[in-house]
Structures are given as C-alpha cells and as structure tokens.
A and B are shown apart, each in its own frame.
Chain A
Amino acid sequence: MSDPDAFAALGTIHDAPGGPEAAVTGPGRTLAGDAWETLRSSWVFWGSLVLIAFFVVMAAFPGLFTHVDPASCQAARARVEPSSSAWFGYDVQGCDVYARTIYGARASIVVGTIATLTAMTLGSTVGIYAGFFGGLVDSLLSRLTDIFFAIPLLLGSIIILTSIPTPTGSAFFSILKVSLALAALGWTSTARVARSSVIQVKQADFVSASRALGASRTWMIRKHIVPNAIAPVIVITTISLGSFIGAEATLSYLGIGLQPPVISWGIAINDAAPYVRSTPHMLFFPALFLSLTVLAFISLGDVVREALDPKAM
C-alpha cells in the first residue's frame, strides 16, 4: 500500500542543498495551459485515463461485462481452474471468479472515491486555513495534523475498524465505515500539501497587490489562493485515490475491511490467500485488476505532477 505523503515528497526536491529553488508561476502563459500541452502528447496520460474510464464503467455497469451472477455459487465447482466456460475459474466457494472480479470493481472504487473526496475536502480546508491565516491558527492546525499524521494509515484504520462494530449484512454501512476510516487518517497528506502551496502563493506579489486594492479575505481565498494552490492538491488527490483503493484491499485482506455480502477485490484476495500456492488463479485475477486500477491512478497523478512542475518548462 503506497503512502501518498512520501510520493508527494518526491515531487520537488527543495532539500538538495545548492539546487534551484522552486518557482512560483510567473505571469503570461498559464501553468494550466502549459501543463495541458505536455499532457496531451503523453501516452502515459491517455493510457491511464483509458484504464480509469474502463474500470469506472465496469464499476457502474458490471452487467456489460458479464451475465453471470457473482452470488450464484456451487460448492461442487470450488477452486476449479480457468476454462473456456469460466475464464477466470472458480473460487473457494464455487463462485465465478470472473463475475466476482467484475462486480468487485464497484465496491473498491466506491470506497476509494468516498474516502478521497472526504479526505480532500477535510484536508484542503484545514490546509488552506492553516496556510492562509498563519500564526496561532496555523500552529494549532499543524499540531492537529501532526497528531493524525503520526498514526500510520494501516494501523490507525485497524484500530478504528476493530472498534466500531458493523451490523452484519449491511453493505452500505460497511462501505461507509471503511471509507470514513481511511479518510479520517488519510486527510493529513492533503492538508500538508494544501498548506505549503497556499503559503507559497501567499507570498506572491499579486496577492499583496490584491490586498492593497482592498480585497476581502474570503475573496482572496476564493479568487487567488485556491486556483493557484490547487495544482499540487489535484496531484495528491489523484495519487490518494489509488492509495485508498490499495488500502481498502489490504484491510479486506486482513479481514477487517469490507465484509460479505459486499464483493470487492480485497475480499476476493482475502478468500483466495490461503490457497495461493495450489490454486493461484483465484488470487491472481482480482489482484491484477486491483493493481491495474491503482497503477492507473498513480501514473496519472505522477504524469500530471510532472506536467505541472514549473521547473520542467
């Protein structure tokens, strides 16, 4: 499971002493315009988008990909290898692995999306306020961020999820619980990125000019700070989405993530894990789909981040 924080830290090397300092965007050509030019010709960009679109469609309309009912399981077929009638074979309980993999996309992606949206909203708000107001507000919010940041995502989610009981049988509640648990700990990376980019923008001359012209604080936040600070936040959000999907799978693998009857890639992998040495196909296919989805999001975030890097222009 990848750590969105560490990945974001790779972005710009401010720390190599003697290296050039990061530049705030200059006037004239917009950063977004230049970035789009670079992205348009990148096959990684288009490839990731295609993959993501593919999986999103799969999540929304599983019926397009298979007519088999993932819940119709027959014990007699348990652990049968792939064949022409069942492309991915059958799993421990005799359910069609292909169908479960297709239907599993929905839960995995939904969890990732809810977690990311929540984390992004929470994190950006904290980060923007901390960065913009500075002083005591910044100190308090930063300490708060540090406290949540100190708890590793996996460990923290384990604690939260083992502490809150789930009424069994409720798929909705299960999904919500896992998403919020992930968001509760994962917002810190967004907060840090938002805070540092707001601070960078705040020091720019055009912000001082705007204030000198009498702009109110909310106006400045809305019109100036947010549009300019948003680029790194977009990058980390994209990467976080990939991380959260991976994290959900890990939690389900540990048995404390999503619970049956929910179908997700993580659950499929968890069920298949004990048999990986004898019948690896049950684990291989969900793992493949999972990996491709996560790879798509992280590649997208990576390539967008490089496109938005002012020094590479």
Chain B
Amino acid sequence: MARYVARRVLQMLPVMIGTTLLIFVMVWALPGDPFAGRCGQRPCSDAFVAAETARLHLDQSLPVQYGYFLWNMLHGDFGTVANGDTVLHQMIRAFPITLKLTTVAIAFEVVLGIGVGILAALRRGRAFDRATLLSSLVVISLPVFVIGFLVQYIFGVRLGFFRVTVASGAPWRDLIMPGFVLASLSLAFVLRLTRASLLETLNADHVRTAIAKGLPRGMVVRRHVVRNSLIPVITYIGADIGTLLGGAIVTEGIFNIQGIGGLIFSAVKLRENATVVSVTTVVVLIVLVVNLLIDLFYAVLDPRIRYE
C-alpha cells in the first residue's frame, strides 16, 4: 500500500509541474503582444506595461519567467486587480462560497443520482427505467447554461419557489437551485453509472456463492452487491468534486454567485487576464490534489488496487 501511495504521488508531481508550465506558456509565451486586450477595451498604459514587465520579469528568458511565476505563486502573490484588491484576497473570500455550492451539488448527486440509479436498476426494462435513461441522456446533452436558464426561469421567475439570483453571503436556501443545476450533468452520469454497475454486480458469480452459503437475501444485497457496485460510483463522485470546484463558472455566472467560478466569470468578462490565469492555475492544482486523494481512497475500497 505504501508503495502504491508513493507511486501515485510521484506520478502527480511531473503532471503538476507540466500543467502549470502549460498554463503559463499558453498565457505568456505565445507569439503576439502579451498585453493585447489585457486592460479592457483600451490598450494598456505604458506605466502598466512597465510595471507588469518588471513584476513578471518578462524581459528575461522563458524558464526564468516560469520560475518567478511559480515562486510568486508559492508566496501567495497572484497579482492585483484593477480596484487594488489582491487576487489572493478575492480567492480567499470566494472559496468558502464555492465550497458550499459544491456541497449542495454533491448532496444532490448522491441522494438523487444513487437513489434513482438503484431504483432504475431494480425496475430494469420497465417504464421508470426507460424514463430515467431518456431524461438522463437529455440532461447530459443540454449545455449547463441552458439547464441553468431553464431552471432559473421555471422555478425562479415563473413558479417563484426560489430567489432568482443568490444573495451575497450565499445562504443555503438560495443555493438549492444553482446546486441542482451544477449537479445536473454529474447527476445524470451517477445515475447511469449506479444503474449499470448494480445490474452487472447482481449477475456476478460471487453473489451466487453468497446465496449458496445460505446467507439471508438482505445480507447478500447489503454486503455482496451494494458495496461492490458502489465502488466505481463513489470513485466518480470523488473525482467530480474537483471538477465541480473548478467548473462552476457558468452556474455561478447565471445565478450571480460570488464564488471562485463567479470570480473567473467576471474576470473573463472584464478581460482581467492575470486574475483568470492565477485563479485557474490554483483551481487546477487543487483538482489534481483532490484527484490524488480520491485515487488513494479508491485503494481503500478495492483491495485489488493496492497490489498493482
């Protein structure tokens, strides 16, 4: 097990370096004027260009630039925003809100996704099953913002169940609609995955053995069916946490949530590229770490992995 952990961690390091390097290259090293379009609609002032060149050491070679980029990041220096606030400060403020939204989304995924998935598997082939398969396919196909607008319109504007946009400070009640929208895509996947996994496990040989051992039906299902079939599902949900943390841009934009996604959303609209890059890099790194943790957790659930 220790070897497995060590191996995964070692595998992750070059990926982290490579990813941050890739992001860096994409932003600063591509041909063209690095300041084009960076100051909104107008060309940047000479003072700004000089200051940024000095801060980011753009006059030096690429590896040096990258070095400073990493160094700055490790020190928490992500640059400043137009109104003088530091990017770091904005991220610290935004993160808890995104965390709350992610929690709501995961709750939907687990309860609805797994729950309905199990029901669909048990009612295989019947109307309920077909309906869930069809609707999950539709949800997977609709881009998030379409679902977002639909839900916002139907439940917020028309039916008035919830506030259309989220109040500042993000109270839990307001996060229900956006949480559902954010979860919708993953929910559909979790549903299908649970169903498929359960169906496959129900036919497995070891279930037959458990029955032949005279175990009561309830115990067979609990111990020998559910645990085995939920492993890929839980792994997926775990991996999804990282994606949700980083990909809530559209959802937070639609519902006006001041989380990390909203931060990126407004930065993109205002063309504050430095902010976009910094926040994105941090998010990507967090996603990598979360995925690593999930991989390790997977080894706990499935003993076969530990000895690979």
Instruction: List chain A residues, Cβ under 8 A from B196.
Output: 10, 13
Instruction: List chain A residues, Cβ under 8 A from B28.
Output: 163
- For residue A205, CB closer than 8 A to chain B, the reply is no
Q: How far is the CA of A277 from the CA of B207 in the complex (A)?
A: 53
- For residue B297, CB closer than 8 A to chain A, the reply is no
Whether B228 pairs with A17 at a CB distance below 8 angstroms is yes
Binary contact track B122-154/A, C-beta < 8 Å → 1, others 0: 000000000000000110111111100100110
Q: How far is the CA of A7 from the CA of B193 in the complex (A)?
A: 10
Main secondary structure of the interface of B (DSSP, over half): helix
| Distance to closest chain A CB from B194 (angstroms) | 10
Instruction: List chain A residues, Cβ under 8 A from B145.
Output: 249-250, 253, 269, 273
Segment with Cβ contacts to A, from B14-22, B58-66, B87-95, B96-104: B14-22
Chain A stretch 122-151: residues in CB contact (< 8 A) with chain B: 143-144, 146-148, 150-151
Whether B236 pairs with A9 at a CB distance below 8 angstroms is yes
Whether B30 pairs with A18 at a CB distance below 8 angstroms is no
Segment with Cβ contacts to A, from B32-40, B78-86, B108-116: B32-40
Binary contact track A136-170/B, C-beta < 8 Å → 1, others 0: 00000001101110111011101110111100000
Give the contacting residue for B287; candidates A2, A152, A298; CB below 8 A.
A152
| Distance to closest chain A CB from B240 (angstroms) | 8
Instruction: List chain A residues, Cβ under 8 A from B235.
Output: 15
- For residue B26, CB closer than 8 A to chain A, the reply is yes
Instruction: List chain A residues, Cβ under 8 A from B26.
Output: 156, 159-160, 163
Q: How far is the CA of A273 from the CA of B149 in the complex (A)?
A: 8
Name which residue of chain A comes closest to B232, CB basis.
A15
Whether B137 pairs with A295 at a CB distance below 8 angstroms is yes
Whether B32 pairs with A165 at a CB distance below 8 angstroms is yes
Give the contacting residue for A18; candidates B18, B32, B36, B201; CB below 8 A.
B201
| Distance to closest chain B CB from A80 (angstroms) | 19
Name which residue of chain B comes closest to A250, CB basis.
B143
Binary contact track B174-215/A, C-beta < 8 Å → 1, others 0: 000000000001100100110011001101111100000000
Give the contacting residue for A16; candidates B164, B189, B197, B253; CB below 8 A.
B197
- For residue A280, CB closer than 8 A to chain B, the reply is yes
Given A13-B200, A277-B157, answer yes or no on A159-B27 (Cβ-Cβ < 8 Å): yes
Whether A158 pairs with B280 at a CB distance below 8 angstroms is yes
Q: How far is the CA of A159 from the CA of B205 in the complex (A)?
A: 49
- For residue B7, CB closer than 8 A to chain A, the reply is no
Instruction: List chain B residues, Cβ under 8 A from A156.
Output: 23, 26
Whether B142 pairs with A164 at a CB distance below 8 angstroms is no
Whether B15 pairs with A7 at a CB distance below 8 angstroms is no
- For residue B246, CB closer than 8 A to chain A, the reply is yes
Give the contacting residue for A283; candidates B14, B37, B149, B164; CB below 8 A.
B149
B11, B149, B235, B273 pick with most chain A CB within 10 angstroms: B149
Instruction: List chain B residues, Cβ under 8 A from A253.
Output: 145, 250
Whether A302 pairs with B137 at a CB distance below 8 angstroms is yes
A152, A273, A280 pick with most chain B CB within 10 angstroms: A152
9 closest A-B pairs by CB: A147-B18, A295-B141, A15-B232, A18-B204, A246-B143, A165-B36, A19-B200, A18-B206, A294-B141
Given contacts A15-B232, A253-B250, 10 further A-B contacts (CB under 8 A): A6-B186, A13-B196, A13-B200, A19-B197, A20-B200, A150-B15, A162-B273, A276-B149, A294-B143, A295-B141
- Residue pairs across A and B with Cβ atoms less than 8 A apart, 9 shown, are A1-B185, A18-B204, A18-B224, A19-B203, A254-B269, A255-B268, A277-B157, A298-B137, A298-B141
